[in-house]
């Protein structure tokens, strides 16, 4: 939620940073009120701690209450020099003005779905309102009946621990090509509701409810690379899309435990800041981030370890959430499909991010997918596509990612990924290698603040060589199978307001499925994202 708050009362902004040495009585003081009303917004600046206000005394009972309000909700401001125009203590009228500012800020937070307002803070606010009732009344009718407003806030919170957030996508899209393409224009939707619960203020339990009918364009085109980055099709039935808990173990360690839908990109930074989001990032599935991050996932655990100011180490173990609750052979948490991964991030400056990721994967027979459904059919499962049958496979996956914000308006990024896979079967041996890469560019604030012009170009996962050996001299091998597939995406994210973004764009797939005999595929989309 926003931490920048400006509150207006009687045509002016008012400031307070903590409890003060109180002076005066509750009588009207015209001269002092004139002084309060003379404060201008140009004279005040946000502070985050009462200790920044040099003329505040901690000797009064209200010190801790006001300190918690200002530091929890940033609802009080002070002058840039850290004082309130001199060394004099604040009057009770100035205090009342700041108290009203905090009440209005908390009221706005709750009305917008905020969940971080605690019962303890509401109780402190009630006590302060009772103490300064006369001063608040003197300030005018705009602060009348504050006791009733506090009761309203207490009665109308969604939850004292849970914040509700949501995202709705309307998509107008179609795939085009010369032959064998179902090129009908579609209109579809996806809805996500996130319930984020905190028990300590530093942790988060995320429960995501999801429904949608956005179909994958792989069926219409016969090409996995044609998939949208936000396709979800469960006939608009509500399902649990994610369920995981994030919490600190120490000042530099954050841990994750998940039961449903937790991916490696939820734990590790995919280093694709302007394209990774499904709701506001790349239109294509391949364009969001390195396919190395896609694999068996859903349930498991992981952690981030801060190594000084520039390095972060991440490790995770994830199992297919369709397997973990099944006690049968080749299922469960450790005997089914899994991903074990480690990543090292390096941030030499605020504008540059570099990362290296390694993932060890096992996928059962019939579940092998070396590309995360972003590349060619032959790269997805080299041996099954070659007509040799279905085999389990293990793979070593390596990725390098980079993102560089050049100046304030241009971001350049990209990645390269490599997969080396082996058949896991006592009677058959086989090996395959798959490569992918991409570069992306984001031009910021084009045509208005918050707008983004984005370009992506790359090679979706490509099988470069593979072999299979049945023993007795029986087998097959091939190198650099087929032509190279390329994807180019152009999009423009127009921020209509802070809650609505419209993204028209298209991506083109050249030599689909590593075959230059296949016609070029074009996918067009107009994605409208509502967030709240």
Q: How confident is the model at residue 36 (pLDDT cuts 50, 70, 90)?
A: very low
What range defines the domain where residue 185 resides?
A: 162-531
Cα angle 484-490-496, degrees, rounded to a multiple of 5: 155
The token pair at 458 is 């790359």
Residue located via tokens 């841990």: 255
Q: How confident is the model at residue 46 (pLDDT cuts 50, 70, 90)?
A: very low
When pLDDT is averaged across residues 362-388 and rounded to a whole number, the result is 89
When pLDDT is averaged across residues 40-52 and rounded to a whole number, the result is 40
What average pLDDT does the structure give for the chain? 81
Domain identity same for 15 and 93: yes
Give the alpha-carbon dihedral of 142, 145, 151, 152, to 10 degrees: -50
Asked if residue 89 belongs to a domain, the reply is: yes
Q: What are residue 398's DSSP bridge partners?
A: 358, 418
When pLDDT is averaged across residues 193-216 and rounded to a whole number, the result is 92
Tally the residues of the chain: 532
Mean pLDDT is lowest, of 53-62, 393-402, 490-499, for 53-62
As a whole number of angstroms, the longest Cα–Cα distance in the chain is: 103
CA 280 to chain centre: 10
pLDDT surpassing 70 at residue 153: no
- Integer CA distances (angstroms), 514 to 181, 398, 489, in order: 17, 22, 18
Number of domains in the chain: 2
If one compares 322 and 26, the residue with the highest pLDDT of the two is 322
Domain identity same for 304 and 452: yes
Give yes or no for a contact between 47 and 53, defined as CB atoms under 8 angstroms apart.
yes
Domain identity same for 245 and 114: no
Q: Determine the Cα–Cα distance for residues 390 and 329; give it in Å rounded to an integer.
A: 18
Pick the last residue of a domain from 117, 137, 155: 155
Domain identity same for 147 and 253: no
For residue 156, what pLDDT is reported? 61
When pLDDT is averaged across residues 169-191 and rounded to a whole number, the result is 88
Q: Determine the Cα–Cα distance for residues 182 and 168; give it in Å rounded to an integer.
A: 26
Asked if residue 1 belongs to a domain, the reply is: no
Asked if residue 130 belongs to a domain, the reply is: yes
Give yes or no for a contact between 503 and 163, defined as CB atoms under 8 angstroms apart.
no
Q: What are residue 406's DSSP bridge partners?
A: 410
For residue 484, how many C-alpha atoms fall within 13 Å in the half-sphere facing its CB?
8
| pLDDT more than 70, % of the chain | 74
For residue 109, what pLDDT is reported? 73
Give yes or no for a contact between 200 and 506, defined as CB atoms under 8 angstroms apart.
no
For residue 27, what pLDDT is reported? 39
Domain identity same for 18 and 132: yes
- 320-334: pLDDT as tens digits: 988 888 888 778 888
pLDDT surpassing 80 at residue 455: yes
Domain identity same for 149 and 197: no
Q: Dump strand ranges (E) for 283-391.
A: 298-307, 311-320, 338-349, 352-363
Residue located via tokens 């983004």: 452
For residue 371, the domain's CATH number is 2.40.160.10
pLDDT surpassing 70 at residue 379: yes
Q: How confident is the model at residue 144 (pLDDT cuts 50, 70, 90)?
A: very low
For residue 151, what pLDDT is reported? 66
Domain identity same for 132 and 188: no
When pLDDT is averaged across residues 168-172 and rounded to a whole number, the result is 98
For residue 13, what pLDDT is reported? 32
Contacts of 409 (CB under 8 A, 6+ apart): 443, 444, 445
pLDDT surpassing 80 at residue 20: no
For residue 131, what pLDDT is reported? 74
pLDDT surpassing 80 at residue 402: yes
Domain identity same for 138 and 224: no
Mean pLDDT is lowest, of 6-20, 344-358, 427-441, 497-511, for 6-20
Pick the last residue of a domain from 94, 122, 155: 155
Asked if residue 522 belongs to a domain, the reply is: yes
The DSSP call for residue 425 is B
Asked if residue 276 belongs to a domain, the reply is: yes
The DSSP call for residue 43 is G
For residue 19, what pLDDT is reported? 31
Asked if residue 2 belongs to a domain, the reply is: no
User: What are the backbone angles phi and psi of residue 263, rounded to the nearest 5°?
Assistant: -105, 165
If one compares 302 and 149, the residue with the highest pLDDT of the two is 302
For residue 77, what pLDDT is reported? 52
Domain identity same for 209 and 318: yes
Q: Are strands 474-479 and 253-262 parallel, antiparallel or unpaired?
A: unpaired
Give yes or no for a contact between 313 and 307, defined as CB atoms under 8 angstroms apart.
yes
Domain identity same for 146 and 173: no
Tell me which H or E stretch contains 503. Answer: strand 500-510
Asked if residue 235 belongs to a domain, the reply is: yes
When pLDDT is averaged across residues 84-103 and rounded to a whole number, the result is 60
Asked if residue 3 belongs to a domain, the reply is: no
- N-term to C-term CA, the chain: 11
Domain identity same for 278 and 409: yes
Pick the last residue of a domain from 127, 155, 183: 155
For residue 82, what pLDDT is reported? 41
CA 302 to chain centre: 17
Domain identity same for 177 and 67: no
Give yes or no for a contact between 314 and 333, defined as CB atoms under 8 angstroms apart.
no
What residue spans of 132-256 are helical by DSSP H?
A: 133-138, 146-155, 218-221
pLDDT surpassing 90 at residue 142: no
Q: How confident is the model at residue 86 (pLDDT cuts 50, 70, 90)?
A: very low
Q: How confident is the model at residue 513 (pLDDT cuts 50, 70, 90)?
A: very high
If one compares 107 and 257, the residue with the highest pLDDT of the two is 257
When pLDDT is averaged across residues 43-51 and rounded to a whole number, the result is 40
Mean pLDDT is lowest, of 441-455, 477-491, 511-525, for 477-491
Mean pLDDT is lowest, of 157-161, 271-275, 508-512, for 157-161
- 411-451: pLDDT as tens digits: 999 999 999 999 999 989 999 999 999 999 999 999 999 99
């Amino acid at each position: 939620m926003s931490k920048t708050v400006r509150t207006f009362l009687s045509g002016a902004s008012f400031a307070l940073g903590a409890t003060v040495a109180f002076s005066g009585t509750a009588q009207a003081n015209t001269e002092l009120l004139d002084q309060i009303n003379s404060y201008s917004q140009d004279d005040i600046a946000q502070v985050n701690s009462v200790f920044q206000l040099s003329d505040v005394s901690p000797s009064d009972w209200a010190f801790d209450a006001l300190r918690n309000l200002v530091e929890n909700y940033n609802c009080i401001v002070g002058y840039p020099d850290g004082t309130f125009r001199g060394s004099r203590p604040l009057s009770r009228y100035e205090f009342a003005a700041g108290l009203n500012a905090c009440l209005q800020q908390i009221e706005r937070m709750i009305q917008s779905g905020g969940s971080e307002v605690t019962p303890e803070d509401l109780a402190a606010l009630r006590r302060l309102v009772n103490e300064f009732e006369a001063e608040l009344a003197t300030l005018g009718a705009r602060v009348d009946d504050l006791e009733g407003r506090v009761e309203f806030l207490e009665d109308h919170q969604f939850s004292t621990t849970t914040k509700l957030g949501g995202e709705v996508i309307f998509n107008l899209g179609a795939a085009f090509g010369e032959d064998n393409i179902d090129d009908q224009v579609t209109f579809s939707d996806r809805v996500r509701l996130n319930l984020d619960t905190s028990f300590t203020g530093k942790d988060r339990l995320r429960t995501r409810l999801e429904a949608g009918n956005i179909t994958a364009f792989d069926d219409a085109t016969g090409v996995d690379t044609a998939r949208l980055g936000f396709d979800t099709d469960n006939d608009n039935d509500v399902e649990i899309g994610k369920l995981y808990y994030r919490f600190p173990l120490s000042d530099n360690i954050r841990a994750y435990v998940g039961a449903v839908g937790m991916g490696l990109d939820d734990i590790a930074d995919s280093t694709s800041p302007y394209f990774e989001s499904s709701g506001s990032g790349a239109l294509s599935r391949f364009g969001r981030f390195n396919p190395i991050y896609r694999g068996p996932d859903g349930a498991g655990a992981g952690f981030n370890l801060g190594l000084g100011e520039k390095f972060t180490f991440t490790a995770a173990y994830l199992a297919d959430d369709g397997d973990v609750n099944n006690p049968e052979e080749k299922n469960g948490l450790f005997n089914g499909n899994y991903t074990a991964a480690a990543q090292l991030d390096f941030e030499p400056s605020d504008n540059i991010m570099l990362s290296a990721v390694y993932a060890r994967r096992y996928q059962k027979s019939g579940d092998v997918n070396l590309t995360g459904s972003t590349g060619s059919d032959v790269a997805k499962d080299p041996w099954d596509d070659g007509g040799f049958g279905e085999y389990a496979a293990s793979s070593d996956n390596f990725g390098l990612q980079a993102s560089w914000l050049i100046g304030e308006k241009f971001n350049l990024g990209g990645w390269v990924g490599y997969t080396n896979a082996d058949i896991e079967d006592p009677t058959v041996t086989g090996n395959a290698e798959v490569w992918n890469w991409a570069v992306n560019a984001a031009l910021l604030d084009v045509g208005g603040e918050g707008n983004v012009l984005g370009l992506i170009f790359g090679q979706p996962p490509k099988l470069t060589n593979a072999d299979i050996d049945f023993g007795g001299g029986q087998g097959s091998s091939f190198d650099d199978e087929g032509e190279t597939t390329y994807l180019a995406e152009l999009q423009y994210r127009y921020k209509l307001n802070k809650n609505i973004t419209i993204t028209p764009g298209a991506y083109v797939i050249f030599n689909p499925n590593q075959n230059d005999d296949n016609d070029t595929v074009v996918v067009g989309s107009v994605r409208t994202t509502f967030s709240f």
